[in-house]
């Protein structure tokens, strides 16, 4: 359902919804939109470092490293580096990094 929901972002690439197209592209099945993967990582950082307030974010940067299949468990590791929260997201089932980057905060909460 996630892959079909993210079509609403305007990305209608059949790689995310059509098993035949995904197979021709070299995948065993359709892959998740990168925007969805980035959204999960950003949400984890915002929940952990911004008390759930997205207004505390100045900028988000991500580098896609590997595809994600719908249904995989995403685990995001994060750490503070100045005004940045560095993160790395892994597909748990494959133990592979799929995304890395940072979230630049407007300010670092004093409780860190």
Active-site residue (options: 1, 10, 16, 26):
16
53 is catalytic: no
95 is catalytic: no
Active-site residue (options: 18, 34, 39, 108):
34
Whole-angstrom Cα distance, residue 40 to residue 58? 17
11 is catalytic: yes
Active-site residue (options: 10, 26, 31, 82):
31
CA distances for 109 relative to 29, 31, 43, 58, angstroms: 42, 36, 17, 14
Which among 107, 111, 99, 106 is positioned nearest to 44, based on CA atoms?
99
Active-site residue (options: 1, 10, 11, 95):
11
Active site residues: 11, 16, 31, 34
């Amino acid at each position: 359902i996630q892959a079909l929901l993210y079509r609403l972002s305007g990305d209608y690439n059949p790689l995310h919804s059509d098993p035949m197209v995904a197979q021709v592209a070299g995948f065993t099945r359709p892959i998740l939109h990168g925007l969805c993967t980035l959204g999960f990582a950003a949400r984890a950082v915002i929940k952990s470092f911004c008390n759930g307030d997205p207004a505390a974010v100045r900028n988000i940067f991500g580098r896609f490293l590997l595809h994600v299949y719908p249904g995989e468990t995403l685990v995001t590791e994060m750490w503070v580096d100045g005004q940045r929260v560095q993160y790395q997201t892994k597909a748990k089932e494959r133990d592979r990094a799929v995304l890395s980057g940072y979230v630049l905060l407007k300010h670092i909460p004093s409780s860190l």
